[in-house]
Amino acid sequence: MITLYISYRSNFRKDNEKPLCRQAKKKEQQSKIVDIEETIPDQTRNQINLEKLDKLKDVKQRQKDWNEIYNHKVVKDGLRVQAARCMECGVPFCQSDHGCPLSNIIPKWNDLVFKNFVKQRIFILCLVSLLNNYFNNWKEALDQLLQTNNFPEFTGRVCPAPCEGACVLGIHSPPVTIKNIENAIIDHAFEQGWIKPEPPLHRTGKKVAVVGSGPSGLAAAAQLNKAGHLVTVFERNDRIGGLLRYGIPTMKLSKEVDSCTCTYKEHYISHLHVNLSAIYNKLVVQRRVDLMSEEGIVFKTGVEVGKDMPASKLLEENDAVLLSLGATHPRDLPIPGT
């Protein structure tokens, strides 16, 4: 009886429904909103993926070493086009909560990088008057970048780039390659010798111990040192870097200066204008550690707090202790035989 009643009610509604309402419903079903990302054909998406591969070094060259796989020269040559694609949105989602977690001032340095390349093209026409502006724009882009980011040479290489995922341009076409622009700014600054040790002018006399030398530990140490505190970083491994050195493969982020023909100090003290791009790529982690050392930060390796040094002693000798231990236990894949 209940089933028959429900069937009768539904048939009654259909029979007594106005034709206008039926047409409205039909039109509503036809005009359903489709996500614009779903309208991009697979062929276009495949082309985007192929363009990403063009930024990598040749396969034969990559087979010969463990160095970084990115062709930074090719990437830099295309920066002008990429920087020009930035629309300087009124609400830049790339630096919002949905984008860069550091709130990098992305549209600003995109514009400055674009102006750099425009002026570079008309450089020969008016060399003297444009020389200062050319370098000032690069430096201003660097200043904007360093306002919010301690280590752009790291994030410019290994960050998953949520800023690009939040880029408004990515709704209907490939987003602006923000990460490449960020990386090019800091690499250009190192090439020009603009990145130099900047120890604080005044010391507070307060001692701070940072346990762990991963990205968070190094960033905290850099900020505390800028504030004038005496910072000591403790690392249980034999080298500084944590995840940067032991977690991220060398093909994405170079660690050492082993195959370089000159040391860090020799390169940055000398003003030889030679092509040392290969050397820059090999000391990405180590050159930053050396910079921080020259700024007054003390690094102690091979010290495991709680084992080699009691935690009570660490608390007694310092005014504050920061634990930036990280997730040291690896998450292996559940594959038989591994």
pLDDT tens column, 272-289: 333 444 444 447 899 999
Q: Tens digit of pLDDT for each residue in 92-128?
A: 999 988 899 999 999 998 999 888 765 555 444 455 4
CA separation for the pair 140, 119 (Å, rounded): 15
Same domain, 68 and 180: yes
Share of the chain above pLDDT 90, in %: 38
**Residue 135 pLDDT grade (very low, low, confident, very high; cuts 50, 70, 90):** low
Q: How confident is the model at residue 228 (pLDDT cuts 50, 70, 90)?
A: very high
Between CA 11 and CA 180 the distance in angstroms is 62
pLDDT attached to residue 116: 76
- Could you tell me the residue range of the domain that residue 158 belongs to? 64-191
Query: Terminal CA-to-CA distance of the chain, rounded, Å?
Result: 62
Asked whether residue 179 falls in the same domain as residue 70, the answer is yes
Lowest mean pLDDT among 248-252, 271-275, 326-330: 271-275
- pLDDT at residue 219 greater than cutoff 90: yes
Phi, psi dihedral angles at 204 (to 5 degrees): -80, -20
Domain annotation covers residue 337: no
| Residue range 79-98: mean pLDDT, rounded | 88
Mean pLDDT over the full length of the chain = 77
Q: Do 103 and 220 sit in the same domain of this protein?
A: no
Residue 146 lies in a domain: yes
Q: What pLDDT is recorded for position 82?
A: 86
Same domain for 217 and 185:
no
Report the side by side order of strands in the sheet with 298-301. 298-301, 230-235, 207-211, 320-323
Range of lowest pLDDT (14-18, 62-66, 211-215, 229-233): 14-18
Q: Tell me, yes or no, whether 89 and 184 share the same domain.
A: yes
3-state secondary structure the chain: CHHHHHHHHHHHHHHHCCHHHHHHHHHHHHCCCCCHHHHCCHHHHHHHHHHHHCCECCHHHHCCCCCCCECHHHHHHCHHHHHHHCCCCCCCHHHCCCCCCCCCCHHHHHHHHHHHHHHHHCCHHHHHHHHHHHHHHHHHHHHHHHCCCCCHHHHHHHCCCHHHHCCHHHHCCCCCCHHHHHHHHHHHHHHCCCCCCCCCCCCCCCEEEEECCCHHHHHHHHHHHHCCCEEEEEECCCCCCCHHHHHCCCCCCCCCCCCCCCCHHHHHHCCCCCCCHHHHHHCHHHHHHHHHHHCCCEEEECCCECCCECHHHHHHHCCEEEECCCCCCCCCCCCCCC
Strand-strand pairing, 230-235 and 298-301: parallel
Q: Is residue 143 over pLDDT 80?
A: yes
281-302: average pLDDT: 89
Within 8 A by CB and 6+ apart from 333, the residues are none
Do 104 and 149 form a contact (C-beta atoms < 8 A)?
Answer: yes
Which is it for strands 207-211 and 230-235: parallel, antiparallel or unpaired?
parallel
Task: Please tell me whether residues 231 and 147 are part of one structural domain.
Answer: no
**pLDDT (mean) for 32-58:** 58
pLDDT at 64: 82
Q: Which of 283, 281, 216, 235 is nearest to 255 (CA)?
A: 283
Q: What whole-number distance in Å separates Cα of residue 141 and Cα of residue 138? A: 5
Residue 11 exposed, middle or buried by CB count within 10 Å (0-12, 13-18, 19+)? exposed
pLDDT of residue 265: 41
**Euclidean distance between CA atoms 14 and 24, whole angstroms:** 14
The predicted structure's pLDDT at residue 124: 47
Total count of domains within the chain: 2
Is residue 183 predicted with pLDDT exceeding 60? yes
- Better pLDDT: 337 or 302: 302
> What CATH number has the domain bearing residue 79?
1.10.1060.10
Asked if 181 and 72 sit in the same domain, the reply is yes
At residue 337, the pLDDT reads: 80
Do residues 157 and 69 both lie within one domain? yes
186-204 tens-digit pLDDT: 988 998 899 999 999 999 9
Is residue 7 in a domain?
no
- Asked, for residue 272, whether it belongs to a domain, the answer is yes
In a domain, 70, yes or no: yes
Shared-domain flag, residues 222 and 118: no
Lowest-confidence region among 46-50, 143-147, 176-180, 298-302:
46-50
- Answer with the residue of higher pLDDT: 227 or 255: 227
C-alpha span between 33 and 177 (Å, rounded)? 29
